[in-house]
Chain A
C-alpha cells in the first residue's frame, strides 16, 4: 500500500531558526505532493508540487519535490511563534489523497 512518511515527528526550535521538514513517499500513479499546515482546527493548504526541481515559495516558506528520489522538503526560514503547528504532507494519485503522520513544529520565543 502506498505510504507517506514524514520526519521528524516533532521539532522544537527558537524564533529566528530555519527548519527543514521531510516527506518521503512510495506511490504508484503519483500525480502531486501537497503540504498543509494545521493549527487548532482544519488543515490549510500551503503548496502543491507536481514537477521535480521547481521550488514553490510563499514568504518565508518554500518547498521542492524530487520525483526521482521520491521525497519533498518544506523549509521555513526565520521562524516565528505563529509557525507553530502540525505540518502535513499528502500524495495524490489517480483517485485519493493520502497523508503522512505530520511533523509537530514548536517555535519558542
Chain B
C-alpha cells in the first residue's frame, strides 16, 4: 500500500548543480502536484499536471521544470540549483473522478543547496 513515493528523501547540492526529484503514485490518480514548503509559508504550488500529457505552472515555477512521464510518475527538475531552492518538496496526487477529492501526499524530500 505505497500511495505516493518520493525519492530521494534527502539531498545536498552545491549551487549550480542539477538534480531530479522523482515521484510515483500507485492509486491510478489523474492529477499530480509538486509543492515546496518553507518555514512560515505553508505549501506553495510549483507545477501541477491535471492529467497525463499536460503540465501547468503554479505559484512559484521559476527555476524548475517538470515531466509527466506517464500516469504514475511526475518528476521535478532543478537545472541549476540556487540556495533559495533549499526547501522541503512534497509531491501529491488526487483522483478527478466523482467530484473534488483530497490530495494524497508523499513523505517529502528535504533539499539543501549550499
Q: Chain A interface (Cβ within 8 Å of chain B)? A: 1, 6, 9, 31-32, 34, 41-45, 48, 50, 88, 90, 92, 95-102
**Chain A CB within 10 Å — which of B42, B103, B107 has the most?**
B42
A99 and B44 contacting across the interface, CB-CB below 8 Å: yes
Q: Which residues of A contact B59 (CB under 8 A)?
A: 1, 98
Q: Which residues of B contact A95 (CB under 8 A)?
A: 48, 50, 56
A102 and B42 contacting across the interface, CB-CB below 8 Å: yes
Q: A42-B106, A97-B33 are in contact. List 8 more A-B contacts (CB 8 A).
A: A41-B107, A42-B105, A42-B108, A45-B102, A45-B104, A95-B56, A96-B48, A101-B42
CA of A71 to CA of B109 in the docked complex: distance in angstroms? 31
Q: Which residues of A contact B48 (CB under 8 A)?
A: 95-96
What secondary structure prevails in chain B residues at the interface with A?
Answer: loop
Residue interface mask B70-103, A partner, CB < 8 A = 1: 0000000000000000000010000000001111
Which of A41, A50, A97, A102 is within 8 Å of B103, CB to CB?
A97
B40 and A101 contacting across the interface, CB-CB below 8 Å: yes
CA of A102 to CA of B102 in the docked complex: distance in angstroms? 17
CA of A100 to CA of B40 in the docked complex: distance in angstroms? 10
CA of A20 to CA of B103 in the docked complex: distance in angstroms? 24
Across the A-B interface, the 3 shortest Cβ-Cβ residue pairs: A42-B105, A101-B42, A99-B43
CA of A9 to CA of B39 in the docked complex: distance in angstroms? 11
